[in-house]
Amino acid sequence: MREHNELYLDGAWRAPLDPTVMELAAPATGNLNARVVLGGEADVDAAVAAAERAFVSYSQTTPQERIALLERVLVEYDARSEDLAQAVTEELGAPLALARGAHVPSGRVQIATAIEVLKSYEFTEMRGETCIRKEALGVAGLITPWNFPVLQPVGKTMSALAAGCTVVLKPAQLTPYSAIILAEIMEAAGVPAGVFNLVNGRGSVIGASLSSHPGVGIVSFTGSLAAATQVAIAAAPTVKRVTSELGGKSPHILLPDADLDVAVDTAMTWLMAVTGQLCSAPSRTLVPRARLEEFLSVLVPVVENIVVGDPRAEDTTMGPLISAEQWNTVQGYIRQGLDEGARLVTGGLGKPAGLEAGHFAKPTVFADVENSMTIAREEIFGPVMSVIAYDTVDEAIEIANDTPFGLAAYVTGEDLQAARAVAEQIRVGYVMINDAEFDWSAPWGGYKQSGNGREFGLDGMTEYLETKVIRGG
Ligand code: NAD
């Protein structure tokens, strides 16, 4: 049982001024496993005030000083990596192998990349006699979702700190453990008081308060479109910068010459292994009509071999959904797929046999899906694949783009030139060809209703910078 009674504010652990206690259950068992104190608006005020005070000196540090600071953070991060993996498994239900192999390393990349960016970035540039300076924007309010509880808080924090901004982090209330460890890492690394502050709490209270706060210069938000809209509205009167990383309904186009094993690997890695709880999950699979049954005959045995279960067990390849609410949402979509006439190929409603206690869902594949069906239009955030048949590659591209989202896409095809030509025509921020290895330091973000702005690496850092021109003198 975890007990967390404090927030991290102004360089110290403190009881909230305005506390409420939240009880959390493990996704894998449904059993109570933590009590975490949440803050209120008064705590946001205190955290922002601390961050504003710290900004005065921290924003004037040299890139070399910030590199030294982030190098100390990296050392402490490495020392806590197993604790972080255990926390992610407990709070999110991610299989331990995935927590160790993807969640924790993806956060590490963010720290290492921020250091590398600082080594070469020119904060001052002369254009003739005009001096152009990039300066830290101000206090950064960081609001993060539950599905990547290490990557998101670490990535945003590193970009902000590299730029010289100070931070108030509000992680998702369902996954506070890894964010608490992050605060411990910052404390152990000697991050100066007020430079990093953690306020756990509800989106409607802490997130809303950060969004409207006059002391916050930028809100970097990752989560749902509904909450992003609220953030943008709340932020508008103070004209603060808002960047948002939102959901997706990412297409995976199998070209006529696709290697079907490669296509199935992509689906397993980016959809099923994460229980579908990934903003960029390839949840729409576009297959040449002539190869549909062949594809299903390769896919289905692999899907039926997924080991759903206890995320701590070595052989588990898919953990539970995060919550009962999320489980009910996913069931609702599966029911809707059946009602709308999609062909259930494997999986379906209910829990896998023997896994009634946790929030486990069946890995599910629908074929004969039309792009107009709800399961092809809305983000399900569960292990549900919609397979859509197409007749020509042009039609596949049209279907891929026929969505309000534009986060990511996947293309599988042996002719690389043809695959790249297709990638260039899909209106999304990130395309992966032939199950390419993910680059966690490349710019990340969406087109259309998948967000605005970019994060991670160089592009992530520049979101936290203002531009100043100095002439004369
Ligand atoms: P959510 O929008 O419910 O919550 C995200 C964060 O916003 C949480 O910290 C929450 O407390 C806070 N929040 C909620 N209401 C708010 C309000 N009115 N004002 C300010 N903050 C508020 O999303 P979620 O369920 O935690 O995450 C799932 C969503 O996040 C999915 O849509 C997923 O696609 C998206 N996501 C996107 C990316 C990306 O990089 N594009 C990455 C991960 C998740």
State in Å: Cα 222 to ligand 1 middle: 5
Pocket flag, ligand 1, residue 208 (CB < 6 Å)? yes
- Backbone phi, psi, residue 455, to 5°: -130, 170
Tens digit of pLDDT at every position of the chain (473 positions): 899 999 999 999 999 998 999 999 999 999 998 999 999 999 999 999 999 999 999 999 999 999 999 999 999 999 999 999 999 999 999 999 999 999 999 999 999 999 999 999 999 999 999 999 999 999 999 999 999 999 999 999 999 999 999 999 999 999 999 999 999 999 999 999 999 999 999 999 999 999 999 999 999 999 999 999 999 999 999 999 999 999 999 999 999 999 999 999 999 999 999 999 999 999 999 999 999 999 999 999 999 999 999 999 999 999 999 999 999 999 999 999 999 999 999 999 999 999 999 999 999 999 999 999 999 999 999 999 999 999 999 999 999 999 999 999 999 999 999 999 999 999 999 999 999 999 999 999 999 999 999 999 999 999 999 999 999 87
The answer to whether 177 and 2 are in contact (CB under 8 A) is yes
Q: In angstroms, rounded to a whole number, what is the distance separating the alpha carbons of residues 400 and 249?
A: 9
pLDDT reported for residue 271: 98
Q: In angstroms, rounded to a whole number, what is the distance separating the alpha carbons of residues 343 and 197?
A: 49
The total number of residues written for the chain in this structure: 473
State in Å: Cα 83 to ligand 1 middle: 24
Q: In angstroms, rounded to a whole number, what is the distance separating the alpha carbons of residues 111 and 118?
A: 11
The catalytic position among 76, 90, 91, 245 is 245
pLDDT reported for residue 197: 98
Ligand 1 pocket test, candidate residues 175, 279, 456, most atoms within 8 A of CB: 279
Q: In angstroms, rounded to a whole number, what is the distance separating the alpha carbons of residues 142 and 240?
A: 13
248, exposed or middle or buried, with CB in 10 Å at 0-12, 13-18, 19+?
A: buried
Pocket flag, ligand 1, residue 209 (CB < 6 Å)? no
Q: In angstroms, rounded to a whole number, what is the distance separating the alpha carbons of residues 338 and 319?
A: 24
Q: Give the type of residue at 417.
A: Q
The answer to whether 152 and 451 are in contact (CB under 8 A) is no
The answer to whether 160 and 182 are in contact (CB under 8 A) is no
**Catalytic: 279?**
yes
Pocket flag, ligand 1, residue 227 (CB < 6 Å)? yes
Pocket flag, ligand 1, residue 173 (CB < 6 Å)? yes
The catalytic position among 279, 379, 455, 463 is 279
| CA nearest to 460, candidates 433, 429, 431 | 429
Q: In angstroms, rounded to a whole number, what is the distance separating the alpha carbons of residues 169 and 141?
A: 6
Q: Which atom of ligand 1 is nearest to the CA of 279?
A: 34
Give the start-to-end residue ranges of the domains of the chain: 2-246+450-471, 251-439
Give how far Cα 176 sits from Cα of 144, 145, 231, 237, 370, Å. 10, 10, 20, 30, 39
Pocket flag, ligand 1, residue 278 (CB < 6 Å)? no
Q: Which atom of ligand 1 is nearest to the CA of 446?
A: 41
pLDDT reported for residue 433: 98
pLDDT reported for residue 1: 86
Tokens 């959904």 sit at which residue?
A: 321
The answer to whether 381 and 326 are in contact (CB under 8 A) is yes
State in Å: Cα 255 to ligand 1 middle: 33
Pocket flag, ligand 1, residue 86 (CB < 6 Å)? no
* 3-class DSSP state of 84: helix
State in Å: Cα 223 to ligand 1 middle: 2
CA-proximal residue: ligand 1, atom 28 (nearest): 223
297, exposed or middle or buried, with CB in 10 Å at 0-12, 13-18, 19+?
A: exposed
CA-proximal residue: ligand 1, atom 11 (nearest): 203
| CA nearest to 404, candidates 368, 445, 376 | 376
| CA nearest to 98, candidates 273, 305, 315 | 273
Q: In the CATH hierarchy, which top-level class contains the domain 251-439?
A: alpha beta
Q: What is the largest CA-CA distance in the chain?
A: 76
Pocket flag, ligand 1, residue 223 (CB < 6 Å)? yes
**Catalytic: 165?**
no
CATH (residue range 2-246+450-471): 3.40.605.10
Counts for the chain of helices (H) and strands (E), in that order: 16, 21
The string over 44-73, giving b where at least 16 C-beta atoms fall within 10 Å of a residue's C-beta and e elsewhere, is: bebbbbbbbbbbeebbebebeebbebbebb
The answer to whether 346 and 363 are in contact (CB under 8 A) is yes
Pocket flag, ligand 1, residue 204 (CB < 6 Å)? yes
DSSP-derived secondary structure for 286-320: EEEGGGHHHHHHHHHHHHHT--BS-TTSTT--B--
